[in-house]
Amino acid sequence: MGYDTRLEEVVGVVALTGITDESLMAAHVRGDRAAFHELVRRYGDRVLGYLFHMTGNRDQAEDLFQETFKRVHEKAHTFRGPRLKSWLFTIATRVAIDAARRRKRTGMLSLDQSSDCGSEAGCSLAETTVAPEATDPADDLVREEQKQQVRDAIETLPVKQRATLVLAYYQQLSYPEVAHVMGCTVGTVKTQMSRALATLSRRLSDSLSVTK
């Protein structure tokens, strides 16, 4: 019986791979367990990558990932479509912001993910902001110092600016999609991005010049 049940679930997942996100959510609400597995398969990596960028810590990201999909399960009946991706990132963002507020006093929130620079999530902003050329150990040391300065500057950004930056820069969501996730207007997204980049530019212009 156990084998038959497992086989039925596998067949169910295969059958769901071609259906729309809206139909997938509807199937999940009806109690189709395979639908939830397919949902995680489609979007789990991107959500985890987003949360990793928001925390800079794999364990924390995985904890927030679990909380995110717990809320997805609990709130599935509220989904009205058609943008499932944006809906998922809205929940993930709220989870990340809640966690950031809890950790604010300890300074645990970080965008650094340099340890996984080769993963699908992509390199951290620190990796792409600092010039990549390094010809000898001395250059490597300078570059590492510069990358740390970039990470430190990013960590000082307000959490909503941070989330806006990650959604637009790492997840490559359009400004309308970011606005939908953040629950604001496109104009507000542009303002948040402008302020974030201006802050980084101002703080890095002095700190990076010290290492030259």
Q: How confident is the prediction for the chain on average, in pLDDT?
A: 77
Neighbouring C-beta atoms of residue 183, cutoff 10 Å: 10
pLDDT above 90 (res 117): no
- Using a pLDDT cut of 90, give the percent of the chain over it: 43
Confidence at residue 128, expressed as pLDDT on a 0 to 100 scale: 44
| Higher pLDDT, residue 207 or 124 | 207
Q: Where are the domains of the chain?
A: 1-109, 123-212
Confidence at residue 11, expressed as pLDDT on a 0 to 100 scale: 45
**Residue 126: pLDDT band by 50, 70, 90 thresholds?**
very low
CA 140 to chain centre: 28
pLDDT digits (tens, 9 = 90+) for 183-195: 999 999 999 999 9
Q: Is CATH 1.10.1740.10 what the domain over 1-109 is classified as, yes or no?
A: yes
As a whole number of angstroms, the distance between CA 100 and CA 94 comes to 10
pLDDT above 70 (res 45): yes
As a whole number of angstroms, the distance between CA 155 and CA 132 comes to 21
| Phi–psi pair at 104, nearest 5 degrees | -55, -45
pLDDT above 90 (res 43): yes
Neighbouring C-beta atoms of residue 132, cutoff 10 Å: 8
Answer for the pair 82, 31: CB distance below 8 angstroms, yes or no.
no
Topology adopted by domain 123-212? Arc Repressor Mutant, subunit A (1.10.10)
As a whole number of angstroms, the distance between CA 186 and CA 184 comes to 7
pLDDT above 90 (res 124): no
pLDDT above 50 (res 77): yes
Confidence at residue 96, expressed as pLDDT on a 0 to 100 scale: 92
**Residue 151: pLDDT band by 50, 70, 90 thresholds?**
low
As a whole number of angstroms, the distance between CA 159 and CA 154 comes to 10
Confidence at residue 110, expressed as pLDDT on a 0 to 100 scale: 47
Reduced DSSP (H G I as helix, E B as strand, rest coil) percent helix, strand, coil of the chain, to 5 = 75, 0, 25
Please state the pTM of the whole predicted model: 0.68
